[in-house]
Amino acid sequence: MKRSLRFFTFTLLILAIAASAGGQQREAGRAPISPPELVIVPTLGNDHQFNLDYTVAHLMTLLDAISPDAILISDYTEWLRRDCPWNAASPETHVALGYARERSLPIFGTSTRPNNTYDENVKFAKEYREKYPDAQSVRGGFRSRLDSTTAVIAQEYSFVGTGESRSPEVLINRVFPSKIKEWNQQQRDAATTRSKQIADEFERLVASNSSYHRWAIVIWWGHALFVEDALRGRGRVRVVPTSNYLPLKPEALEKRMDYKNTAWILSGILDEWYGMWAPQVFAGERIAALLTKLKAFAPKNPVTEFLEARWLMQNRNYKAAEPILERPVDTAGDAKFPFPLNGKWIRPPWSSVRDKAKLNLAFVYDYKGERDKALKLYRELLELGDRLNEEARAAGYTYDDIRFVIESYTKTPYTGMPDEAFRHFPLTAKVPACAPDSLRK
């Protein structure tokens, strides 16, 4: 009996040793867990409408190629959870948020919540209005800046008549690094400080969200290269070069150049204040080609008609624009623009095609000297009251004061001259309906 017990005990010991050795062999043979991957997507910030070789459609196509598990952008996580980006005027923010919702992906901000409060936004808007009470004062304060910015746009993005491309691969591989070399030390220090903050937040998110393997940071190019350097130096993630996903496949880009994105791109060219100030910086032949593409999608759509009329007005053909605008005023009903609204790319930022057409028809009447007909339409729009500013959020609690703009047309007729851009600068502040409850005043 004792011998049997000793034999049984010995057998268990042998089996335990064998199991342990086998486990160690399996552990030794198991592939190590790979670190999370990161692709940093450098963007043009607010300026994607100026480069028809790197549009919002290109940015979406690049995200398609990367196929991330999670996205990080320069915004605030609490606001993004409410589909209410703090940086409401930034097209790249809307691209990233729309892509995340389309693919059911998590999207995070580089910070959890903003530091500046509602009261600070109110104070800023009040001081701004006191400094710039009318279009003339705005002109004095912004004319030189608008001129210099327009010159940069023409030189770096539009290349009217040169045919030179500014595709994502050209920008990322050559243009962006070259531009950073021209920066002074103060610019470099500021970018380095901000980039370290972004890198810290990214590592915190990776640590608390280990199930997401491939991340994409969609961020302005001036920060993107510094964030990449910071994270490479730490060695905790594998930084995958964006160039691995470039050039974009033409068929993939064509798929993203659908009706919504084509209309969005055209709005950024035809219906924003750089288009009012210096339409010559945009490549006319390419705009015409995009408009032809839009008309092939849906020639009788009120959005198509409105953008066609804006193209005619930009080319001073108010006579041809008039009957085109009259149609959506009469028949558009509740039709909405299909793309995300932002005050940078649609002036004023209203989703109603009918209201936009009505305002531009009033412009046509003013241009023709039919002041009574123009005033009738301006006053009809003013009857909308708070709706005029409802969609005009620029960032956080700050709004463009569109009511102020429409009132200005009742006092001074629309002229069609570049100075019309200066009517569109007044600001106001309020808590947006979409704001997180914890951040309300």
376-396 tens-digit pLDDT = 999 999 999 999 999 999 888
Domain annotation covers residue 174:
yes
Examine the pLDDT at 122 and tell me if it is beyond 90: no
Examine the pLDDT at 242 and tell me if it is beyond 90: yes
Residue 27 has a pLDDT of: 41
Which range (33-47, 105-119, 151-165) has the least confidence?
151-165
Query: Using 50, 70 and 90 to split pLDDT, how confident is the model at 13?
Result: very low
Highest mean pLDDT: which range of 17-21, 279-283, 312-316: 312-316
Residue 20 has a pLDDT of: 47
> Where among 231, 252, 273 does a domain terminate?
252
Contact 318, 364 (CB under 8 A): yes
Examine the pLDDT at 159 and tell me if it is beyond 70: no
Same domain for 223 and 328: no
Same domain for 386 and 267: yes
Same domain for 264 and 409: yes
Domain annotation covers residue 106:
yes
Examine the pLDDT at 1 and tell me if it is beyond 50: no
Domain annotation covers residue 357:
yes
d(CA 337, CA 330): 17
> Where among 252, 284, 315 does a domain terminate?
252
Same domain for 354 and 218: no
Distances (CA, A) of 399 to 75, 130, 415, 421: 17, 16, 25, 17
pLDDT in tens, 393-441: 988 898 989 999 999 999 999 999 888 888 877 888 889 989 987 655 4
> What one-character DSSP code corresponds to residue 172?
I
Contact 255, 247 (CB under 8 A): no
Instruction: Please enumerate, as own/partner, the contacts of 196-201 that have beta carbons within 8 Å and a separation of 24 or more.
Output: 196/230, 197/110, 198/72, 198/74, 198/110, 198/223, 198/227, 198/230, 199/227, 199/230, 199/231, 199/234, 201/72, 201/110, 201/111
Structure tokens at 377: 């339409």
Residue 440 has a pLDDT of: 54
Domain annotation covers residue 92:
yes
pLDDT in tens, 164-220: 678 999 999 998 999 999 999 999 999 999 999 999 999 999 999 999 999 999 999
Domain annotation covers residue 237:
yes
Residue 164 has a pLDDT of: 65
Residue 103 has a pLDDT of: 98
Mean pLDDT (whole number) for 2-13: 42
Residue 34 has a pLDDT of: 84
Same domain for 334 and 417: yes
Residue 438 has a pLDDT of: 67
> Where among 252, 272, 302 does a domain terminate?
252
Distances (CA, A) of 234 to 196, 230, 231, 281, 328: 11, 7, 5, 43, 56
Same domain for 342 and 234: no
Same domain for 263 and 244: no
Examine the pLDDT at 14 and tell me if it is beyond 50: no
Residue with tokens 């350097």: 229
> What one-character DSSP code corresponds to residue 30?
S
Structure tokens at 112: 């959890």
pLDDT in tens, 321-356: 999 999 999 999 999 999 998 776 788 999 999 999
Same domain for 273 and 246: no
Residue 418 has a pLDDT of: 84
Mean pLDDT (whole number) for 287-297: 97
Same domain for 292 and 244: no
Query: Using 50, 70 and 90 to split pLDDT, how confident is the model at 151?
Result: confident
Domain annotation covers residue 353:
yes
Which of 25-41 are b and which e, b meaning 16 or more Cβ less than 10 Å from the residue's Cβ?
Answer: eeeeeeeeeeebbbbbb
Examine the pLDDT at 6 and tell me if it is beyond 60: no
Beta-strand (E) ranges in 98-240?
A: 107-111, 214-220, 238-239
Domain of 105?
37-117+163-252
Contact 266, 410 (CB under 8 A): no
Examine the pLDDT at 31 and tell me if it is beyond 60: no
Strand partners, 107: 71
What's the predicted TM-score (pTM) here? 0.88
Strand partners, 73: 109, 218
d(CA 165, CA 22): 60
Same domain for 281 and 399: yes
Helix ranges (DSSP H) in 30-117: 56-66, 77-80, 91-103
Mean pLDDT (whole number) for 293-304: 97
284's CB contacts (< 8 A; 6+ apart) are 160
Domain annotation covers residue 81:
yes
Same domain for 407 and 338: yes
What is the percent of the chain where pLDDT is above 90? 62
Domain annotation covers residue 326:
yes
List phi, psi (to 5°) of 81: -60, -25
Q: Which of 212, 217, 249, 250 shows the shortest CA–CA distance to 231? A: 217
Residue 23 has a pLDDT of: 46
Amino acid (one-letter) located at 143? R
- Give the three-class secondary structure for 7: helix
Residue 160 has a pLDDT of: 45
Examine the pLDDT at 28 and tell me if it is beyond 60: no
> What one-character DSSP code corresponds to residue 86?
S
- Based on the structure, what is the number of domains in the chain? 2
pLDDT in tens, 168-180: 999 999 989 999 9
Q: What is the mean pLDDT of the chain?
A: 87
Same domain for 414 and 332: yes
